[in-house]
Structure 1
């Protein structure tokens, strides 16, 4: 009877889930367990039954969630270790502070050692400079050094320096703030800086090219020179000389005019 009742209870529990046992069923189960322990043939033997074993630990979804949390914590610990090593090796932060840079309350960031950087984006109205009485050395490893703000760009390469701007450019004397060189032709004429005797360009578009009253204007080219005017070309001078190694072509749409200026004789020489 007891075995049949226990089997029926186990079948009902497996089909409908765990059920609450009565006092009589608990007493029968306790008596059976005591018999098994007191038997000489089954001493220390406990049947493997889920109902008789104590359930411990996390099971099912809770166990999977615990494993995911442990893996996530391990990944975060590895990332934290990598960041710490980078800060210690690159920025060189130690017990005495940072060995490679200084942070000041005024917002100044000072580099105390040679720094290797790729791209620097200064903040609005920021300044990049060196210490007093020391030069600021910027070196590119087999790459050009580019300073850019908007569309204006200054590129310093090994064999050339180029300036690109949609508006123009001006060079100032840092001590007197005088304009040494400017491309603002609407305000003043274009003048070569003091000490510069020649200008080398591939193509120039201007209204007039003149020289000083005490010096000659020499235009030299290695290959072919083309002088073209939308409303004509006027060449004026006391003496006009053309030195060429090949042919010279004078082409006019309507007419070609040669005259003297202010009643003085103008001499034009062509040396082939």
Structure 2
């Protein structure tokens, strides 16, 4: 050790050629095997973050999913338009749009609910029939409160504001419910009119046919200037009571017959007075005035102190 110290203090130790070659070889081998040369370990959290992270990343995912859903819906709508409306390279095969706003169907079309615009018109070709059918459902045309329903066994029209049928060629009114401007005539072939309430000056029928007025509940006939009922034979059939009211008088001009087939009667032919009922006898004057007399005893006549005759 002392000899080596003396040599180092006197100057640098000279190495042989062989020692220098071995030292150079070891240095190159160390450099070639050191892959972390110049690497400085730094914490990743302290570095500058790039890209979409956190809430921005979730928002980006939501936007991508929404765009995907819109693309699928757009694809479905395109397929429906292509299959139903039959749009192809040559245009639309099932319908045709005119400059006047007319929409013409060139093939059989299957549709559900159609909402026409204001004052829309539906029609067919001049020499061809317009066929509208419903699959186990009635065909309904509705505009506001007015509705036309075509079923298998009936055709009904419902409206709260009235209706009017006009010939499109002559503009002549064929049928109208406007009582102030038109006289109410039923078209040919229509024999029954079902209404909840009607206001008119006169109701008549043909001379060779009867006029029948039927009501499920109550039938009330009123007239501002009186009610006049005329006919060859006038017959009233009631399920309940019939009431005639007048401010001044009721005039029955003609032969008046009252059917007693439905009036209550006793099986023994004698009236019973102990059942709690009050009975009256219908009497008539020579001028046709009718009045009633309370029956108080058997075989009682029409003589009374307050005889209107």
SS in 1 for 2:96: strand
After superposition, residues 7-46 of structure 1 pair within 5 angstroms as 39=30, 42-44=33-35
Residue 174 of structure 2: aligned partner:
180
Matched, 1:120 2:114: yes
Matched, 1:162 2:156: yes
How far residue 40 of structure 1 moved from its aligned partner, in angstroms, is: 6.7
String of CA shifts for 1:16-49, please: whole Å, max 9, x gaps. Answer: xxxxxxxxxxxxxxxxxxx999527845457683
Q: Is the 8 A contact 1:172 1:181 kept in 2?
A: yes
SS in 1 for 2:156: strand
Q: 43-52 or 71-80: which moved more?
A: 43-52
Q: Is the 8 A contact 1:146 1:154 kept in 2?
A: yes
After superposition, residues 237-252 of structure 1 pair within 5 angstroms as 237=231, 239-242=232-235, 244=237, 249-252=242-245
Higher RCO structure (Cα 8 Å, ≥6 apart): 1
How far residue 143 of structure 1 moved from its aligned partner, in angstroms, is: 3.1
Return the match for 1:104 from 90, 98, 104.
98
Q: What is the aligned residue count? A: 229
Return the match for 2:41 from 46, 49, 56.
49
After superposition, residues 124-135 of structure 1 pair within 5 angstroms as 124-135=118-129
Q: Is the 8 A contact 1:144 1:157 kept in 2?
A: yes
Return the match for 2:251 from 245, 255, 258.
258
Instruction: Say if 1:36 and 1:226 are closer, same or farther in 2 by CA, change over 3 A.
Output: farther
Return the match for 2:255 from 236, 253, 267.
267
Larger-gyration structure (1/2): 2
Instruction: Say if 1:256 and 1:140 are closer, same or farther in 2 by CA, change over 3 A.
Output: same
Q: Unpaired segments of 5 or more residues in structure 2?
A: 1-25, 262-309
SS in 2 for 1:240: coil
Instruction: Say if 1:149 and 1:218 are closer, same or farther in 2 by CA, change over 3 A.
Output: closer
Residues in 1 aligned to 2:68 and 2:28: alpha-carbon distance in whole angstroms: 46
Residue 208 of structure 2: aligned partner:
215
Q: Is the 8 A contact 1:153 1:163 kept in 2?
A: yes
Instruction: Say if 1:133 and 1:78 are closer, same or farther in 2 by CA, change over 3 A.
Output: same
Residues in 1 aligned to 2:28 and 2:65: alpha-carbon distance in whole angstroms: 44
State the superposition RMSD in angstroms: 4.3
Q: Is the 8 A contact 1:155 1:162 kept in 2?
A: yes
Q: Unpaired segments of 5 or more residues in structure 1?
A: 1-34, 261-265
How far residue 229 of structure 1 moved from its aligned partner, in angstroms, is: 2.6
State TM-score, norm by structure 1.
0.61
State TM-score, norm by structure 2.
0.55
Instruction: Say if 1:48 and 1:102 are closer, same or farther in 2 by CA, change over 3 A.
Output: farther
